[in-house]
Structure 1
Amino acid sequence: MNINYNSDTPASVKRRRRGIDWTVLVQLLAMVPSLLVGLGIVVLLTSLLLGYIPNRPAWTQWAPLGAAGLWFLLGFLWFAPFMQSFLAQSFLLLRPPVQAELRHMEYSWHEVLRRAGLDNRAKFRLWIQDTNELNASAAGGSIVSVTRGALRYSGDHLGAVLAHELGHHLNGHTYPGLLAWWFSRPLYWLRRLVRLALRIALAILRFISYLNALVALVGYLFVGTAYLTILIGLVRGIVWAWETSWIAVVVLALAFALAPVMNRQAEYRADRIAVQLGYGPALVDVFREWQNFGFEDHGRRGLRALYLASHPPLHARIRRIENQLTHGGRYNGGTGK
């Protein structure tokens, strides 16, 4: 089948503004359970710490709620411009580009911003991930990163990769990812602490078992009882939530189950932004090259891996781009990754 691509480069465009994509709303709902668990952990730990303070003032009874509220607000602080460099370098392990890398990306990036109706002073900032993989990503409020391996591209091909990541920002796709990361930190740290304590306890019990098998058996029973208590607590919490508002539980469960699907839809919509900016044919070229490199491995995955995949198959993305190009893919200032 011959595909008639409309590859005209947009000369003048309508300024694109940031918005909230419908996929973002589902992803925000999906992170509510992590948020509630995180709030509960912060409240619990703060209450435990206050228990060790003798003769504490009466106002400290509100300290757990204050700590939970402060922790919640800190999640939004990560989007502040002055926090982006700290986030990129300390947590995402990115680095600023050197002069040669910046010069290599500069023309393509400025052209992407021009086609999107944004000037070069837009608050987005380019970063480098030191890996030879072919990849790029968008994060935080202004981070656009490219792997060292992806710098093999130039011109419209590099522009297509950057336009896709800009599409994530313009559609608000980076918001739920960063918030979910922060809201899940208390549970993540608690799980690591519990795993460390368990490893130490089991190591001690294995040592004791060589000296006194009965004492070791009592220890194993204690560890098993602790885990059973935690499991019963989780079950009781789920039952309480169901009895309190089963509709809310169903909505949150559906949102959680649909979160991987929304991740893949976000990729499609970011591709759509790149096509609307005039990078459709170049993006198809990039995806076909990735296929030649063996990135199209969905056929070798199990059903569970396919369901949890964060990105759609490359052939499906190419097909959507070709359909959009066939039916008038030139950017016209409309909405649309």
Structure 2
Amino acid sequence: MTQPPPTPPDYPEPTGRPHQPGAAQVPPQYPPPPYPGQPAPQTPPGPLFAVPPQYPQAPQYPTPGAQQYPPQPTPQPQIPPQAPQYPQPTPPPAPDSPLHPHHISTDRGRTHVSAHQRRTDATAFGNLLLYLPNFLCSLVVMGMVSLLFGGLGILVLLAWLASGALVFHRPTESALARHLLRLRYPTPQERAKIEPVWRTVTARAGVEGRNYELWVEDSDSLNAVAAAGHIVGVTRFAMNQLPNGELAAVMAHELGHHVGGHAWSGLLGYWYALPGRIAWRVLRAVTGFMFRVSRVFSCFGVLFFGVFAGAIALATISTLYGLPLLILGMPYALAAVGRRSELRADQHAAALGFAPMLAAVLEKLHHQEQQQIAALTAANGGTPVAETPVSKLLSSHPDYYTRLHHLQPYLQPSR
């Protein structure tokens, strides 16, 4: 007998669909909450839109045969270490920069710091007095030379005495500056640089700057010169490498030699001592030649030469009342007066307000001297070249520490 097919179960027909017009909305059926102490009833199948239960996911097991590595950290980008940043030192301002501490303004009007700047001091008179023995010896030499001209000899002697006025003659000064001191006229560019500084110096000193001539020496050393009565020369190094304040201090120092009379008195004394110097050198050359000739004739010739030279020296000393003996000590006395005149010129520049600038220039001069000493030591195989006491006595300039010591009253701040 054939069995009829099973009848499918009857499911409740939905009375409508959500959001369908005209369909009735059936609320979902939820089980009642359980009572305390009773087990939670089994949740019957929910309605059509019930949330399905959440099941825990199966754990992940390692695959057999696969090598396991620990998790590697994410590599961070390597930053190269940087050197610490230090503040860069500020370069010193250029010598011609207005920011240099020794820069001065040259645009000011005429100002007189002192009304008594042009006067001959005692150093100039002392210099002339020390040249007196040399002058007398030169007078004797020129008297002997004038005898060769017979009746015109007196004119030759008078012409020599009057020739000292050429020291203040401008063309003669220019010839001396060009040929003896190796100076030259400045170019227009150099003149435009040094003339404003010179006007500032002379304005402070209360003198007329146009009475002097500015010259330049082609030298790479720090130096300046005051010659005759109207010449002020500076080296190319001082003009180009020094701030205008330090250049003004150098020029004020040389102006101190002029207003103090050191320049003209020194040149005048040297001029009148020149015939005696020439005669002394000729005498030394002749004496040396005769001494070498006398050695050929054995010791008796040397003895005869000694007696002859001694007799001449004794006759000269007795005739000139010991003046030749004074001439032997004149170089040391003149060097001492020269050192004193340098201190006076430093004082002149410091009194005009250039003391700090002059101290800086003296320091540069001292450094330049140390370099020269180091070069001489290296040339001598590393053995230091010591300065002898005689060379110190014959030095025409004081040492660095002495000059700086005399500047201290002008460097100390005023209270």
Which one has a larger percent helix, Structure 1 or Structure 2? 1
Q: Is the 8 A contact 1:104 1:154 kept in 2?
A: no
Q: Distance in 2 between matches of 1:169 and 1:188?
A: 25
Q: Distance in 2 between matches of 1:137 and 1:312?
A: 16
1:315 corresponds to 2:401: yes
Which residue of 280, 300, 325 maps to 2:355?
280
Q: Distance in 1 between matches of 2:324 and 2:279?
A: 24
Q: CA deviation at 1:109?
A: 0.9
Give the aligned partner of residue 392 of structure 2: 306
Q: Is the 8 A contact 2:135 2:276 kept in 1?
A: no
Give the aligned partner of residue 240 of structure 1: 319
Q: CA deviation at 1:147?
A: 1.5
1:76 corresponds to 2:176: no
The superposition leaves residues 96-139 of structure 1 with CA deviations (integer Å, 9 ceiling, x where unpaired) of 11122212212211110111112442x11111122212111111
3-state SS in 2 of match to 1:294: helix
3-state SS in 2 of match to 1:184: helix
Q: Distance in 2 between matches of 1:196 and 1:278?
A: 51
Structure 2: 5+ residue stretches without partners? 1-103, 374-384
Give the aligned partner of residue 129 of structure 1: 217
1:117 corresponds to 2:217: no
Query: Structure 1 pair 286/65, CA: closer, same or farther in 2 (3 Å)?
Result: same
Query: Structure 1 pair 101/229, CA: closer, same or farther in 2 (3 Å)?
Result: farther
The superposition leaves residues 245-274 of structure 1 with CA deviations (integer Å, 9 ceiling, x where unpaired) of x8x999988876532221111111100100
Q: Greater CA radius of gyration, 1 or 2?
A: 2
The superposition leaves residues 140-194 of structure 1 with CA deviations (integer Å, 9 ceiling, x where unpaired) of 0101111122222131110000000000000000123212221222233335555
Instruction: Determine what percentage of the aligned residue pairs are the same residue.
Output: 28
For 1:144, give the aligned amino acid.
V
Query: Structure 1 pair 217/142, CA: closer, same or farther in 2 (3 Å)?
Result: same
Q: Distance in 2 between matches of 1:256 and 1:188?
A: 12
Give the aligned partner of residue 122 of structure 2: 22
- TM-score norm. by structure 2 comes to 0.62
For 1:234, give the aligned amino acid.
A
Q: Distance in 2 between matches of 1:264 and 1:158?
A: 21
Aligned CA RMSD, in angstroms, stands at 3.7
Which residue of 290, 294, 301 maps to 2:365?
290
Query: Structure 1 pair 251/228, CA: closer, same or farther in 2 (3 Å)?
Result: closer
Q: Which moved more, 1:13-22 or 1:267-276?
A: 13-22
Q: Distance in 1 between matches of 2:335 and 2:328?
A: 13
Q: Which structure would you say has the larger RCO, counting Cα contacts within 8 Å and 6 or more residues apart?
A: 1
Q: Distance in 2 between matches of 1:116 and 1:134?
A: 23
Q: Which moved more, 1:86-95 or 1:231-240?
A: 231-240
Structure 1: 5+ residue stretches without partners? 1-6, 51-59, 207-212, 330-337
Q: Distance in 2 between matches of 1:230 and 1:176?
A: 35
- TM-score norm. by structure 1 comes to 0.75
Q: Is the 8 A contact 1:78 1:87 kept in 2?
A: no
For 1:286, give the aligned amino acid.
V
Query: Structure 1 pair 91/251, CA: closer, same or farther in 2 (3 Å)?
Result: closer
Give the aligned partner of residue 156 of structure 1: 245
The superposition leaves residues 49-108 of structure 1 with CA deviations (integer Å, 9 ceiling, x where unpaired) of 43xxxxxxxxx1xx4343223212202322123322122112222111112221221221
Query: Matched residue pairs, number?
Result: 295
Q: Distance in 2 between matches of 1:70 and 1:230?
A: 33
Q: CA deviation at 1:228?
A: 5.8
Q: CA deviation at 1:312?
A: 0.5
The superposition leaves residues 277-310 of structure 1 with CA deviations (integer Å, 9 ceiling, x where unpaired) of 110010011111222333597x942211111110
Give the aligned partner of residue 45 of structure 2: none
Which residue of 157, 167, 180 maps to 2:256?
167
Give the aligned partner of residue 46 of structure 1: 146
